[in-house]
Homo-oligomer: A and B are copies of this chain.
Amino acid sequence: VIKKFVPILGWLPNYRKADLPGDISAGLTVGVMLIPQGMAYALLAGLPPIYGLYASLVPLLLYALLGTSRQLAVGPVAMVSLMIAAGVNQFAAPGTEEYITLVILLTFMIGVIQFGMGLLRLGFLVNFLSHPVITGFTSAAAIIIGFSQLQHLLGLTLPQTNQIHEILYYALRDIRAVNIPTLLLGLCAVTLIFFLKKWKPTFPSPLLAVATGIGFVWLFDLPAKGVQIVGSIPEGLPSFSLPPVEDTAIQALFPLSLAIALVGFMESIAVAKAMAARHRDNYTLDSNQELIGLGAANLGGAFFQSLPVTGGLSRTIVNEQAGAKTGLAAIISAILIGFTLLFLTPLFYYLPKAVLAAVILVAVAKLIDFKELRFLWCTKREDFAMAALTFLATLFIGVEEGIAIGVVISLAMVIYHSTRPHFAVLGKLPGTNVYRNINRFPEAKEEQDKLIMRFDSMLYFANTEYFKEKLQRLEEKKETSLKLVIIDAVGITSIDASGVHALREIIEDHQKRNITLYLSGVIGPVRDVLHRAGITDRLGKDHFFIDINEALEYYTEPEKSKVNPAYILQTNQ
**Taking beta carbons and an 8 Å cutoff, which residues of A are in contact with B?**
124, 127-133, 277, 287, 375-376, 378-380, 383, 410-411, 414-415, 417-422, 424, 429, 432-434, 436-437, 440-442, 456-458, 460-466, 490-491, 493-494, 496-498, 500-501, 505, 509, 523-525, 529, 532-533, 546-547, 571-572
Contact = CB atoms under 8 A, between A and B. Distances in A.
A349 B572 CA distance: 65
The 3 A-B pairs of least Cβ separation, nearest first, read A130-B461, A456-B493, A383-B497
A457 B493 contact: yes
A523 B422 contact: yes
Nearest to A274: B505
B494 A463 contact: no
Given A127-B462, A498-B131, A493 B571 contact: no
18 contacts: A124-B466, A127-B464, A128-B461, A131-B497, A378-B532, A379-B532, A383-B496, A411-B415, A414-B462, A422-B493, A422-B523, A432-B546, A433-B433, A434-B547, A436-B546, A457-B493, A491-B491, A491-B523
A406 to B, nearest CB: 11
A106 to B, nearest CB: 28
Nearest to A379: B533
Contacts of A464: 127
Contacts of A418: 414, 458
Given A424-B524, A497-B380, A460 B491 contact: no
A501 B461 contact: no
Given A436-B546, A533-B378, A463 B127 contact: yes
B532 A456 contact: no
Given A509-B277, A533-B378, A524 B422 contact: yes
Contacts of A421: 493-494
Contacts of A130: 460-462, 496-498
A288 B529 CA distance: 32
B131 A375 contact: no
B529 A456 contact: no
- Which of A415, A442, A456 counts the most B-chain CB atoms under 10 A from its CB? A456
